[in-house]
């Protein structure tokens, strides 16, 4: 049986050398008893194993990183667990990535505990000045009580962070002393009687002022700032009072806050103000004025602008996305494949073209040329916004009882949002340009939908939405199971 005692300072290097020597002699984990300076001395009556370096011993880099952290844990079994895993990875290096291995999982848990303790040390060490404040190198000291043996592996962080001053971090385990740029580690000590710091009052005042009572979550706070550290943190004296008064302060903040519209409402209102039409002419004059529209660059490539079509006093306005290839050439809306599908659905719902005003959110055809074909492109937000001036003019002239917005582009142009059409279809919303808007699918979506079952379901819903729109504008009865949801 081999007995190995490891020092409190330099533990990582000592464990590595001892483990390498034992592994070189093929000593199995069951024949090794590990300990540290706190282990009773009679347990190690036999001399320790001499170190014998072996250059042919290789281990995964992930194991080296794991061991360099776990050796600093306070678990007395950490050395034995590490050596047992080291023994196994010699023949099975893949174990380091095996999340189902119980020993690897345990060591990963210990590693996480060490990293957490190091993080707490970096966050909660509070220095107090102990030297002459006008000396070339000011001197500070701090008392800290770590959960694990993390002073040595964390000391280099403080050397880099506070390299221009002398300092010491005193703990019950190991103490770190940094003087004139040199680090020295010594055994732990009892809690010292450190002087008061004149800056602590200012620090507590700052802490009180950055505390946000509306975001207080006590459990989460104590998880990040465990109470065991509070006694050595000057700002902690304010925490109980801040917790107790948080509800009242949060209510006062809410009452004093200015009343602002939701982000979506503010954006929609801004868009509405940008695109409210000042058109005062007749509906027929809109068609003539559209021919000369240069509000966006789409007019440069399109054959012509395609105005709305239908009675100037129609009760129901249908808004699509933009003209397609055939509409661009003919100058009339809804005559292409999507328009033909709309005609089928409208006929099924009992609607006729004579009772509808048909138009699009964008009046020019946007496309990409592929040979002789012109492939449809979805209009951009900027193009939709610029063309909303004409849509607003049409809505003012027609003054429909209800607008049906087909697809995302039409929904964006009429309500300010083109999102979640599947969830919003069948709903009635407030329109940007006045009136109410019923959201539904665009016929082109149904033409593209796959598989067939999806297209059939979408067509059924589309017909139902058009039927509902017809009954709403005609004052007909609407059954309870199809009563539209209305959102403001």
d(CA 299, CA 291): 9
Q: Are 325 and 376 in contact (CB under 8 A)?
A: yes
- Taking residue 479's Cβ as centre, other Cβ atoms within 10 Å add up to 8
* Helices 78-89 & 61-70 angle (0-180, nearest 10): 170
Residues 354, 197: Cα–Cα separation, whole Å: 86
CA proximity to 381, closest of 294, 271, 305, 278: 271
Return d(Cα 79, Cα 12) in angstroms, integer.
10
Residue linked to tokens 């011993």: 57
- CB-based contact 166:190 (threshold 8 Å): no
Q: Give the count of alpha carbons within 13 A of 287, CB side only.
A: 12
How high is the pLDDT of residue 44? Answer: 47
Contact (CB, 8 A) for 314 and 471:
no
Judge whether 85 and 45 are in contact, CB under 8 Å.
no
- Residue 93 DSSP one-character state: G
pLDDT of residue 262: 67
| CA distances, 349 to each of 16, 260, 390 (Å) | 81, 42, 28
Residue 279 confidence (pLDDT)? 66
d(CA 144, CA 240): 22
Q: 402-406 and 436-440: which strand pairing?
A: parallel
Token representation of residue 167: 């300092």
What does pLDDT average to in each consecutive run of 10 residues of the chain (488 residues)? 92 93 92 76 45 65 94 95 94 89 95 96 92 85 95 96 94 95 94 84 88 88 88 89 91 80 68 63 75 88 92 93 94 93 93 91 93 91 89 89 95 92 92 90 92 91 94 72 56
CA distance 117 to 149: 9
Instruction: Quote the DSSP letter at residue 180.
Output: T
Rounded distance between C-alpha atoms, residue 228 and residue 197, angstroms: 21
**Under 8 Å between Cβ of 326 and 336:** yes
- CA dihedral (423, 428, 432, 433) in degrees, to 10, reads 140
Distance CA 183, CA 474 (A): 88
Integer Cα distance of 70 and 115 in angstroms:
9
Residue in the block written with tokens 């699009």? 360
Q: pTM for this one?
A: 0.51
């Amino acid at each position: 049986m081999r007995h190995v005692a490891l020092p409190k300072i330099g533990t990582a290097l000592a464990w590595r050398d001892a483990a390498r020597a034992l592994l070189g002699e093929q000593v199995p984990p069951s024949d090794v008893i590990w300990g540290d300076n706190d282990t009773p001395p009679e347990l190690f009556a036999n001399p320790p194993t001499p170190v014998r370096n072996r250059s042919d011993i290789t281990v995964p880099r992930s194991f080296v990183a794991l061991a360099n952290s776990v050796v600093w844990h306070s678990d007395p079994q950490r050395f034995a667990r590490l050596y047992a895993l080291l023994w196994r990875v010699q023949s099975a290096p893949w174990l380091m990535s095996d999340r189902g291995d119980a020993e690897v999982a345990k060591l990963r848990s210990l590693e996480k505990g060490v990293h957490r303790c190091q993080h707490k040390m970096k966050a909660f060490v509070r220095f107090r000045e102990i030297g002459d404040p006008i000396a070339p190198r000011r001197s500070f000291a701090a008392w800290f009580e770590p959960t694990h043996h993390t002073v040595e592996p964390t000391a280099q962080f403080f050397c880099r962070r506070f390299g221009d001053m002398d300092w010491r971090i005193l703990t019950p385990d190991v103490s770190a002393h940094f003087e004139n740029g040199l680090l020295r580690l010594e055994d732990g000590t009892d809690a010292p009687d450190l002087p008061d710091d004149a800056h602590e009052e200012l620090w507590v005042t700052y802490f009180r002022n950055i505390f946000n009572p509306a975001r207080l979550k006590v459990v989460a706070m104590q998880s990040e700032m465990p109470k065991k550290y509070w006694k050595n943190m000057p700002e902690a004296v304010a925490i109980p009072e801040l917790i107790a008064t948080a509800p009242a302060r949060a209510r006062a903040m809410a009452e004093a806050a200015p009343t602002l519209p939701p982000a979506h409402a503010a954006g929609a209102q801004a868009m509405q103000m940008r695109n409210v039409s000042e058109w005062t002419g007749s509906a027929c004059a809109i068609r003539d004025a559209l021919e000369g529209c240069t509000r966006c660059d789409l007019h440069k490539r399109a054959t012509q602008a395609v105005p709305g079509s239908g009675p100037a006093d129609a009760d129901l306005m249908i808004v699509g996305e933009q003209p397609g290839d055939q509409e661009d050439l003919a100058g009339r809306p809804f005559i292409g494949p999507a328009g033909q599908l709309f005609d089928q659905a409208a006929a099924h719902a009992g609607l006729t073209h004579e009772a509808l005003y048909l138009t699009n959110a964008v009046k020019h055809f946007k496309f990409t040329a592929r040979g002789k074909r012109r492939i449809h492109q979805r209009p951009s937000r900027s193009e939709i916004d610029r063309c909303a001036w004409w849509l607003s003019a049409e809505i003012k002239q027609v003054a429909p009882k209800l607008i049906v917005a087909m697809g995302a582009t039409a929904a964006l142009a009429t309500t300010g949002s083109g999102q979640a059409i599947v969830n919003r279809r069948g709903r009635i919303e407030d329109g940007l340009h006045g009136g109410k808007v019923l959201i539904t699918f665009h016929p082109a979506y149904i033409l593209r939908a796959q598989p067939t079952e999806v297209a059939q379901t979408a067509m059924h819903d589309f017909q139902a939405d058009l039927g509902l729109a017809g009954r709403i504008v005609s004052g007909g009865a609407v059954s309870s199971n199809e009563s539209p949801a209305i959102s403001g």
